[in-house]
Amino acid sequence: MKRILSGIQPTGRLHLGNYFGMMKPALEQQGQGDLFLFIADYHALTSVPDPDQLRSDIHSVAVDFLACGLDPGKTTFYRQSDIPEVTELSWLLSVVTPMGLLERCHSYKDKIARGIPPSQGLFSYPVLMAADILAMRSDAVPVGRDQKQHLEVTRDIAGRFNLRYGQVFVIPEPDIRDEVAVVPGIDGQKMSKSYNNTIEIFADPDEIRRKVMRIVTDSTPVEAPKDPGRCSLFALFRLFADEDEHQELAARYRAGGVAYSAVKKELASRIVDYFAPFRRKREELLANPDYVQAVLAEGARKARSEAQKTLKAARKAVGLES
């Protein structure tokens, strides 16, 4: 069975971009592939300096994934820091990683431009990410488009290692869905917690309505024809519509007569309805932290035994073991 793996950093409340870009495509593959999902807490250390904040974010992202339908009977769900083999593997990978490969990474440049201190950990982040993926011998990695370059770095590192030391690693394929590759935020840029333009999936319904009403649209009059391809409100609506509804709204945009405020109202109510059952499940999980910890402990046990196998092969290949 195909192994599918993805991870998310525990660095704040989950938003529509996280959900449609990564969580939903990953969770849809539960049962079809051998799914591994993890909380990238070693990664989060590059940007979350407060220990209490980190602890609380780790728990909350675990709860949110389980609330959104992660089934621990089908999916191996774990914390990255429960698998120390990943950090050892990242060292073995780092010695075959050219500096230039990391120097080209947009994500590092974007992060320092946003004021995150440029630590060595932040710079070598893609090597740790490669270790996450390669340790579990992942075939496919569902992520949003912003992670595409990191996947290319992973493939490059794995290829170099295999070339030098023999076939140790599986070369993973990125799984990026075109229709949700970039979910726009309420200001029309990519939705991201660092741009302060998110709609959080578990915000309370009033806040969701307020945010939706603030989605930036152009000033075309109601009766004028509109271009659905250039409207972030349309792009967000599409996430909550079936194909017929999507085509119908596109036709109404082109014909003219669509009032943005009516589309916003409808969108807000669809977002609230869509997440309502997850919200109920989330309340139950919040009342049961021991269950959440037990799921992560069991996931770690399974993931760790996988990582140990890979690490053993890698240590042998480089000459640390015979």
The minimum distance between CB 283 and ligand ADP, in angstroms, equals 24
Query: Quick one: 8 or 241, whose CB is closer to ligand TRP?
Result: 8
Q: How far is it, in rounded angstroms, from Cα 315 to Cα 92?
A: 8
Residues 130-149 that bind ligand TRP (CB under 6 A): 132-133, 141, 143, 147
What residues from 189 to 228 belong to the interface with ligand ADP (CB under 6 A)? 190-194
21 binds, among ligand TRP, ligand ADP, none (CB under 5 to 8 A by kind): ligand ADP
* Max intra-chain CA distance, the chain: 75
147 binds ligand ADP (CB under 6 A): yes
The yes-or-no answer on residue 190 being catalytic is yes
4 binds ligand TRP (CB under 6 A): no
Least Cα distance to 101 among 70, 71, 125 occurs for 125
- Cα distance from N-terminal residue to C-terminal residue, the chain: 30
Residue 146-185 contact track with ligand TRP, rule CB under 6 A, x = bound = -x--x-----------------------------------
- Closest by Cα among 182, 225, 209, 184 to 264: 209
Residue 264 falls in the annotated catalytic set: no
Q: Are strands 3-8 and 75-79 parallel, antiparallel or unpaired?
A: unpaired
Give every CB contact of residue 155 below 8 A, 6+ residues apart in sequence. 171, 172
Q: Is 193 an annotated catalytic residue?
A: yes
Pairing between β-strand 140-142 and β-strand 173-175 as defined by DSSP bridges: parallel
State how far the Cα of 59 lies from the Cα of 299, in Å rounded to an integer.
15
The residue from 24, 74, 193, 281 that is catalytic is: 193
Cα separation, 183 vs 24, whole angstroms: 13
Q: Which residue is nearest to ligand ADP (CB)?
A: 21
Nearer to ligand TRP by C-beta: 122 or 216? 122
Report CA 256 to chain centroid distance, whole Å: 36
Q: Cβ–Cβ contacts within 10 Å for residue 215, how many?
A: 24
Q: If we measure between CA atoms, which residue out of 268, 290, 298, 278 comes closest to residue 78?
A: 298
Q: Which is nearer to ligand TRP, 60 or 147 (CB)?
A: 147
Q: CB-wise, 199 or 258, nearer to ligand ADP?
A: 199
Could you say which of ligand TRP, ligand ADP, none residue 209 binds, taking C-beta under 5 to 8 angstroms by partner kind? none
C-alpha dist (Å) from residue 292 to 80, 81, 156, 282, 296 = 15, 16, 36, 11, 6
Q: In whole angstroms, give the CA distance from residue 179 to residue 251.
A: 18
Single residue of 4, 5, 10, 21 touching ligand ADP by CB under 6 A: 21
Nearest to 126 by CA among 134, 116, 136, 114: 134
Site mask, ligand TRP, residues 81-120, x = CB under 6 A?
----------------------------------------
Q: Compare residues 151 and 241 and give the one whose CB is closer to ligand TRP.
A: 151
Please tell me whether residue 129 binds ligand TRP under the rule CB under 6 A.
Answer: yes
Nearer to ligand ADP, 58 or 191 (CB): 191
The residue ranges that bind ligand TRP (CB under 6 A) are 5-9, 40, 43, 129, 132-133, 141, 143, 147, 150
Active site residues: 111, 190, 193
